[in-house]
Amino acid sequence: MLASRLPAVCTVALLLCPASPAQVASAVPRTLEEVREVEAAADLAARLALGERAFPELPPVDASRLDLLENADRVLIDPPPEILDGSLPPLIDVTIPSSETGTGFPEMFEYLIPTGYDPEGAPVPMIIGYHGYSLSHNSVAIQSTLHVECDERGWIFVAPTGADQQIFGTAASQTNTDLAVQYMLDNFNVDPDRLYMVGFSMGGGITVNYVSRHRDPNGIMIAAAATVSATMDWTMEYNLGTPAFQTQVMQNVANFGASPAVDLFAYQRASGQYNGQGSYPPFPANLDEQFTMATNLESTPFYVTWDIFDQLTQVSFMATSLVGLLQGLGTEVLSISVAGTPQPHSWAVLNEDALFDWLDGRSVERLPPAFDAQLERDSTVSWATLAQRDDEAFSYVQGNANSSRLVVEGVVNAKQVTVDLAAAGLSGIWPLNVRATSADADGFRLAITGFDQCPSYPTDVANGLVVQGFWVDPVTDTLFLDVPGNTSIDADLILEPWLGDLWTSPQSVPVGGNLDLHLDLATGDTVAWMVVSLTAELGELPKNGGSFVASFVNPGLFFVLPLDAVGDLVVPTFLPSDPGLVGARVLLQAAGQDGTGKFDATTNLFALDIE
C-alpha cells in the first residue's frame, strides 16, 4: 500500500534491497525486547549503508554510563500501556535511499496517520519529533506519547532520522530532515502552516537550529516548537566529551570534520546556542548572542521543559539561557522546569498533553513586516533574500517594511540583499522611501523588485540629487543600488515611467568578452541617441524628451544608432582586451527620436559591469 505512494525510483530501490531497514506498511514492534532488536538492526543497516562514513560502534544500552553525553541519551523507557494495546494505527517506517537524498545518507523516518484521517478534508497539523543522540527515529514513539496524542487529536506524526543517529544537525542532517517533512507534505493532507517540532536532548538543540534556519516563506517553516532536556551548544559538548567522542564522532567528516579550534564556524552554524569556549567548565557559561542561531526566533513561540536534576548539568543552564534569550527577543516562550522525574534526562520529562494544548491553533507567520536575521548561508527571510560574500561566516540583516518606507540595515557579509516589494506589501507606493545601511567595510548591493511598474531613479532625501551607484534592469523590473561600506543611504524611489528598454546580455562581461546590446523603443522611432557615461545626473532632453539620468558631461560618449521599423535594435559587440577596464562600471541610457525630431521614448539607466 505504501509503495504506491513512493516515488518510482524509491520504490524500485526498496524492492531491490530486501535487507533494507524500512518496514513498509507494517507496525513497528513495541515490546521492550523487540525494541532492542529493531534499534540494533536499524543501526547496523544504517552503518552498512554509509560505508566508510559510518560512525564507530556505540556501547550496548545496558553498558551505558549516564555521566557522558555520548551515553546519556541511550536510556530506554518502558512504553506506556496504550502503546501496547493495539488500538493505535500502525507506525510506518520509510527509507529514502542515499541515491535519492543528495547527501550520501539514506533518510529513515517513521510516521503515523491518525484514526479518522480524511485526505479530502481540512488540512491537519503535523508534529515532527526529533530523537536524541545515538537513538534512531523509532525511539521517539518508543519513549514518548507524541504519536498517541496525535492520534487522539487527529494530527499527523513524523519522526525523521536526519541522516544518521549521531549527526549534530549539520547541513546533510537538515537536508535529510527536509526530505522527510516534504514527503509528508507531498503525500498527505498536512497543513504547511501548522508544522510543530519537538526535540529531545541533542534533538532539542537541532530543533532550535532547524527552526532558526527555516524562515523562507516559500519553504518549510515551523509554527511553534518545543525542547525537552535539550543540549544546544556543540562546541560545549565537544569540550565536555571524551577524547574518543571528540575524534571519532565530532571530528567525523559526517559531522564537523575538525575540532572547534580548527573550524569553529562549523560548530556554531549547527548549534542553537554558542557560549565562549573559555567559560566552561565550570558553569555558568557565557552566551555569545553574536554567534547564537537562536537569535532568529523572535517570531516563533517556544515551549522549553527540563528536569532541574538532569544528570547532564549543562541542560539546566541551556534551558534557562534559551528562555532568557527568547524573552529578551520578545518571543512568546513557556518554560516548564520539573523535578523528580524517574529518568531526569529522558522524554519522560515532557507532559505531552500540556504541550499539545499549548501548540493547538498556532499558525506560522510567513511574512513578518519586521525581522532580525543571523544567517549561516544564502537565505530568504520574510521579504528579503541575502546572498553571502563569505560563505564561511555569519551574515546579518535587519528589515522593516511599513506603509511608505522600506528599511534594510545592519547588513554584514552580503554581496546582495534582494527585496520583494510585493511580499513586503509595498508594491505601488510612489514615491517609496528606502533606507539602507551597511554595517561592514565591504558594503552590499541592494536589489529591489516586485514593483507594480518599472522604477525610474532614486533621489537623495537630503538634497534631491540622483543617488550614484544605481541602475535598472527592465527585463526583471529590478532597481539595483550600491550601498558603500559603513554607509547609509536614504532615498526616494521616483516613478516617471520609462517608455523604452535598454539592457545587455550578459550584464557583467570580462574584458575581451562578447555581449549583445538590446534596445526596445517606440514604434515610429528611427534613431536612438545613446549616452555612455560613468556618472548619473538628472537632466532633461529637448523637445519633450522627459527626464534623463546618464550624465551628458565628461567623462562620457554621445552617439546615434539607427533603429528598425518597430524601434528596436540588437547590436552584437565585444569589449576590448584592456586590463585597465577591469572593475569599471559603464552606465548606458538612450532616447528614441522619431522622424519629426521629437524624443518620445526614454530608456532605463542600465549598468554594464566589466570583470
Match domain 2-359 to its CATH number in 3.40.50.1580, 3.40.50.1820, 3.40.50.300, 3.40.190.80.
Answer: 3.40.50.1820
Domains 2-359 and 501-610 are alike in CATH topology: no
Write down the pLDDT at residue 537. Answer: 86
Match domain 501-610 to its CATH number in 4.10.520.10, 1.25.40.10, 2.60.40.1930, 3.20.20.150.
Answer: 2.60.40.1930
Which residue, 461, 481, 463, is CA-closest to 471? 481
Question: Cβ of 280: how many Cβ atoms within 10 Å?
Answer: 18
Q: How far is CA 42 from the centre of its chain?
A: 30
Residue with cell 558603500: 484
Q: 10: helix, coil or strand? A: helix
* DSSP-assigned states of every residue in 191-243: EEEEEEEEEETHHHHHHHHHHHH---TTS---SEEEEES----HHHHHHHS-H
The average pLDDT across 54-77 equals 72
Cβ atoms 567, 558 nearer than 8 A: no
Q: What is the pLDDT of residues 104-131, one digit of tens each?
A: 899 999 999 999 999 999 999 999 999 9
In which element (H, E) is residue 98 found?
Answer: helix 98-101
Cβ atoms 232, 273 nearer than 8 A: yes
252 exposed, middle or buried (CB, 10 Å; 0-12, 13-18, 19+)?
middle
| Rg, C-alpha atoms of the chain | 29
Cα dihedral sign for 472, 476, 477, 480? negative
Q: List the beta bridge partners of residue 587.
A: 533, 607
Cα dihedral sign for 165, 169, 171, 174? positive
Model pTM score: 0.89
Spell out the domain ranges in the chain: 2-359, 370-494, 501-610
Cβ atoms 445, 481 nearer than 8 A: yes
141 phi and psi, to 5 degrees?
-80, -20
* Model confidence band, residue 598 (pLDDT cutoffs 50, 70, 90): confident
Hey, which of 75-79, 126-130, 559-563 has the most confident mean pLDDT? Answer: 126-130
Amino acid at 244: A
In degrees, to the nearest 5, what angle opens at C-alpha 465 toward C-alphas 462 and 470?
Answer: 110
Q: What is the pLDDT of residues 471-492, one digit of tens each?
A: 999 999 999 999 999 999 999 9
Least confident of 319-333, 524-538, 545-559: 545-559
Counting residues of the chain whose pLDDT is more than 70, the rounded percentage is 85
How does DSSP classify residue 296?
A: G
